[in-house]
Structure 1
Amino acid sequence: MEEEPRQWILKEDPKTTEKNVGGLPSILLKLLGQRGVSGEEAIQKFLNPKLKDLSDPYLLPHMTEAVERICSAIDKGEEVIVYGDYDVDGVTSVALMRNVLDAYGVAGGVYIPKRGEEGYGLSDEAIDNLLEEHGKPHLIITVDCGTASINEIARLNELGVDVIVVDHHEMSADGSPECVAVVNPKLGDGFHYLCAAGVVFKLAHALLKKRRLEAFDLKSYIDMVAVATVADIVPLVEENRLLVRHGLKRLPRTGNVGLKALQRVAGLDGNVSSMDVGFRIGPRINAAGRMDKPEDALALLCESNSRSAKQLAEVLDDYNRQRQTYEKQIRDEAMRMVEEQCDPVNDPVIVLGSRKWHPGVVGIVASRLMRQFYKPTFIVAIDDDGVGKGSGRSVEGVSLVGAIQSCTDDLIAGGGHDMAAGLSIREERIADFRKNFGEYVLKTTTAAQRAPRMHVDAEIDFEELSLDFLDSYDLLQPFGSQNPQPVFMSRGVWLTEAPRHLKNKHLKLFLRQGISERDAIFFSGGERNLPDPPWDVAFTIDRNTFRGRTTLQMVIQDVRASRAEG
């Protein structure tokens, strides 16, 4: 099915663009200005972040109370359970927190709920299972969850179990839970960008400042924090950028046997980028949780034996293949449903549900359909009792939280973020929700806002695309949320030979602008009806190394018939 053409929006030049800073190309300074980075000192700090610039961890809310309670547990020999979520951020947070406690000789264990049986966060079912498995501990530290678990934590208080929440999620409308401490940046004025693993890293830093451990090197865990930060799609700004930059550098030589094995099964044998984490490492860790086996991902991150780590990494790789199979099945069926039931040009939203779909992968399919059709999308997996669990992804300008709040009569429950959210719904209410969700979008957006669009950062000529430019461009990395990979455009581009088809749907393109020639890859380009040249091409650039030779790789994002301007 042909996609609706996207409007290209070329970003305006920033009002303050530095000149002649450190010999950097003017286009790089423009990209920095678009990101709000100006002034030589700020530019150097952005391009070369240093670990020594990490702030005092005690600036985070309730950090003192959390450290004092953990120190009390150390002194008294108490049992402490670390309870976390089943995604990448949750599993890495559990692994880091448990390693820190083990270094201090704290007894206890870990608990990660199963997505299908116990759901997200602290639930009564999960608490029952934890108590049955571990008995009643003196202290539970929740990581990547707990902020909104007011009733569940009250229950633990009644049982005589202390709780420390280490989290980064939004507060409940009913306030904070009553517990020893809620170490959550959202309660304070800064650090709102941190993921849970980043908050755990801060807690570990605070503990080490109070009680130094000569044999424990917190910096050795920075690669794990980087994986969580990228995979959780939190903003790559300030200390997140710092942690990820240094963590990615460390990954190829990591001392974590599990991460090393995971890189091997993912086909990584050199430098690791944020894209590698987002599309190759993160999905394999996430796949364990999606298959209701989060304990296998945790075991891999905590493994010290290379042979065992290799076996576990292969298990996660197998889970990921299963996830891909489920995803393809759902995506193919969802595409048929779009063709049969929807008008993808005029309908304001896509909402689809089926009893055949696996709840662990509906979010991935929602994301793919949202990108393809540029529509706010919910994909719902319905169980045998007729209760659906849905995952939604949105487009610029449409808040899924606002949509959920406007459709409460159709839903059992729902929540999340503006761009990604989840819900529970009865099967018979899906059609009503689709109608009311669509009306919400029509009321809160204009036709222009709903039209597919692509933001282009800068126009560049082929002759500027050199390895020297790539070297300076790489200083902008890591790319991710709030520091996206720049999209460039070039006008008046011709083909030097016919496109070469790769695996049916991808294209290898041989392009010329003036006297400069470049090769490019166009993923899924074989499924597009391309206009006759000359073209304007929108693209990203990457470093490609093959058999020891490094080249600048153009990755086409869109093609249109060439225009003089606009």
Structure 2
Amino acid sequence: MKKQWILPEIKDSQLVELLARELHLPLPIASLLVSRGFTTLEEASSFLEPRLANLRPPEEIPGISLAVERLHTALQKKERIVLYGDYDVDGISSLALLCRVLKAMGAGSVDCFIPERAREGYGLSIAGVEHCLTSFQPSLIVAVDCGTNSINEAKLIRERGVDLIVVDHHELASDSVENTCTYLVNPQKTKVLPFRRNETQCETDEARGTQNFDLGCISTYCPSQDSSPTQHSSSLPQIAVDGYHYLCTVGLIFKLCHALLKRLPNPDLDLRRYLDLVALGTVADIVPLVGENRIFVRYGLRQLANSQWAGVRALIKVAEIKPPFTAMDIGYKLGPRINAAGRLSSAQEALTLLLSDDATEAARIARHLDIRNRERQTIERAVTLEAEEWVTKHLDPVNQKSIVLGNAGWHQGVVGIVASRLTKRWHRPTLVIGFDEQGRGKGSGRSIEGFSLVEALEHCSPLLDAFGGHAMAAGLTLQESRLEELRHAFEKAANHFLKEEDLIPRLKLQAEVDFKEIDFDWLDTQDRLAPFGTANPQPLFIAYSVRPIKEPRILKEKHLRLEFASQQGAPIAAIFFNGAMDPLPEAPWDIAFTLERNSYQGRTTIQLQVVALREAE
């Protein structure tokens, strides 16, 4: 699909030069920082050097202080606690983190419960709650990564005489559990949705005065009264900290543990050692890597290289990755293996891996998860192929702004991945649904910029049994008999919210680079912008009017290897994935690319990854 190239704008040249000089940056990197909204030297410096000491007091998050007091009571009285979680990486890493910390703090009894996807559904469900209560008979349930809008389930738990703490980051409906559950830790409480929706999880120092708590690293730094956070913008690498809306559940659990540790100091418990678990959930949940998430992931990736958890070490081994680790290692190597268990059957195996302290057991589970991930890939490829064939046959790209498809037999554990692939290829909001033998469907949606799935699904709510999620990703359930009605209702919503120009994918280029400027020092400077992810993407550069120094070489019948001249004399290699699928324009070219290190047989070289190429303009 042809993309619209959004070229770099002319920036404040004086500010660019100031940042380049004072922070020792190449001009394109300084220009990129200015384009992302940094207006002062202090802001840019803080972004480039995130520090654990800059984490804000956890008690700022709504509900944490009350939840800490309830956990404090449970610890003191040795109550039976059950942690009730979701089966994605965020949910599993949240369970592992909280379980380990509570046990380290002397909890009398801590059990974890994950509902079975096929029989008990997503998150807090009546069937899941009944199973949990019968199996463990707790006095306290802590629901993590679920429960925000599970009103009936919260009432059931209360009727059984059990307290409920909900730690979740999903958006609140106007009739959330806030009025039913005394202990709700959710930063979205400050931005309640104006509409009602059912909950379906998708594939997202006031209490202690001014007391400081030292984790050997993490202090409760609180900015001065006149400090002002950077204004929220999806295009900026800083997000306002008031509300903490960008945190996923594992980040909230870390903040909860920090607050609990302030309430019950334990000199033997160092939360820095748990940051690898925080990084796993944060990256895999595709939340913005800005603010405190950036700090968590930057330090979590370092901790990953020295993980104290047998399960994490075993997972790294089967994934065949080596430090220094990047967010891509989690997103493409570790996360999918953890997710594979919950997608195909029960997520309990993945949780057991993260809780295991036995190297032999961990190695066995990691190998099995690796096998499950390969099975998931096979299933995913088959469903994707069928889905692509259907879209190619039925989509009218001129007149249709959305894609809705479903089929009996499509594995419900992979529909989210398939929806993501279709959205990326066709640049349209997409719903993919798998139906069982009884015609009950569970689906996932993925969206494009400017189109909120939860708002669109609200317009379709009379047709749905349940739905929920975020603007860019959502889950839903419905009966197969209503699929065609949903297709028409969703298309109506797409026509209402989307303009024609929204359907043209944008290639947002961030700075111009001359190939002759590129060296390893340049790459080292780019590394200071990492970790890359949502709201802090890897820089996409443009080079104008370039010519290859030799004929492109075709790799595996569809990719291209290119070479360009550099200042060092040795050519710079470039890889253009799928570049051989269409004829190349006549050189010279304008090239949109990212910069990478390519390590092969012990040798590291600079490599360009070409994202798009056009005839020079």
1:491 counterpart (536, 544, 549): 544
**Residue 39 (structure 2) aligns with:** 38
1:5 to 2:2 alignment: yes
CA distance in 2, matches of 1:261, 1:140: 30
User: Which residue number in structure 2 is paired with residue 58 of structure 1?
Assistant: 59
Quick check: 1:27 aligned with 2:28? yes
Q: CA deviation at 1:488?
A: 0.9
Larger deviation, residues 91-100 vs 378-387? 378-387
Given the alignment of the two structures, is residue 212 of structure 1 paired with residue 260 of structure 2, yes or no?
Answer: no
Equivalent position of 2:327 in the other structure: 274
Matches within 5 A, 1:381-530: 381-512=434-565, 517-530=571-584
2: CA distance, partners of 1:476 / 1:21:
16
Given the superposition, is the C-alpha separation of residues 444 and 108 from structure 1 closer, same or farther in structure 2, using an over 3 Å criterion?
A: closer
The match for 1:118 is: 120
Rate the CA distance shift 1:269–1:458 in 2: closer, same or farther, 3 A: same
1:341 is displaced (CA, Å) by: 2.0
Asked if 1 retains the 8 angstrom alpha-carbon contact of 2:463 and 2:482, the reply is yes
CA distance in 1, matches of 2:425, 2:417: 13
Give the unaligned 5+ runs of structure 2. Answer: 191-241
* Partner of residue 595, structure 2: 541
Output the CA distance in 1 between the equivalents of 2:366 and 2:179: 37
How far off is 1:38 after superposition?
3.0
Greater shift, 461-470 or 178-187, is seen at: 178-187
Check conservation: 1:394, 1:400, Cα contact below 8 A. yes
**Following the alignment from structure 2 to structure 1, what is the Cα–Cα distance between the partners of residues 472 and 552?**
36
In the alignment, which of 123, 127, 130 is matched to residue 128 of structure 1? Answer: 130
SS across alignment from 1:476: coil
Please provide the CA RMSD for this pair: 1.9
C-alpha distance in 1 between matches for 2:355 and 2:554: 43
Instruction: Measure how far apart 1:55 and its partner are.
Output: 1.4
Greater Cα shift, 507-516 or 553-562? 507-516
Give the counterpart letter for 1:558 in structure 2.
Answer: A
Answer yes or no: is 1:232 the counterpart of 2:234: no
After superposition, give the CA deviation of every residue in 1:187-222 in whole Å (9 maximum; x if it has no partner): 254211111111111111111111112222211001
Greater Cα shift, 273-282 or 337-346: 337-346
Distance in 1 between residues matched to 2:555 and 2:17, nearest whole Å: 42
Contact persistence 1:18–1:39 (CA under 8 A): no
The code of the aligned residue for 1:150 comes to: I
CA contact (8 A) 1:236 1:483 kept: yes
Pick closer, same or farther for the CA change 1:446–1:187 going to 2, 3 Å. Answer: closer
Q: How far apart are 1:226 and its partner, in Å?
A: 0.9
* Number of the residue aligned with 2:163: 162
Partner Cα separation in structure 1 for residue 455 and residue 256 of structure 2: 33
Q: Which residue of 2 aligns with 1:252?
A: 305
Code of the residue aligned with 2:27 in structure 1: it is S
What secondary structure does 1:120 align onto? Answer: coil
From the superposition, tell whether residues 8 and 150 of structure 1 become closer, same or farther in structure 2 (CA, over 3 Å): same
Partner of 2:77: 76
Match of 1:550 among 604, 609, 617: 604
Map of 1:365 onto structure 2: 418
Structure 1 residues 477 and 526: CA distance shift in structure 2, 3 A: same
The two structures have a TM-score, normalised by structure 1, of 0.95
Contact 2:89 2:285 in 1 (8 A): yes
1:537-560 per-residue CA deviation (whole Å, 9 max, x = no partner) reads 111112222333322221111122
Relative contact order, CA 8 A, sep 6+: which one is greater? Answer: 2
CA 1:22/1:370 → structure 2, altered by over 3 Å: closer, same or farther?
A: same
Residue 543 of structure 1 aligns with an amino acid whose one-letter code is: R
Count the aligned residue pairs. 559
Q: Any conservation in 2 of the 1:147–1:177 contact (CA below 8 Å)?
A: no
Letter in 2 for 1:117: R
**Residue range with higher mean Cα deviation, 12-21 or 221-230:** 12-21
Match of 2:613 in 1: 559
- For 2:23, what is the secondary structure of its paired residue? coil
- Measured after TM superposition, the shift of residue 14 of structure 1 is 4.3
Deviation at 1:490, TM superposition (A): 1.2
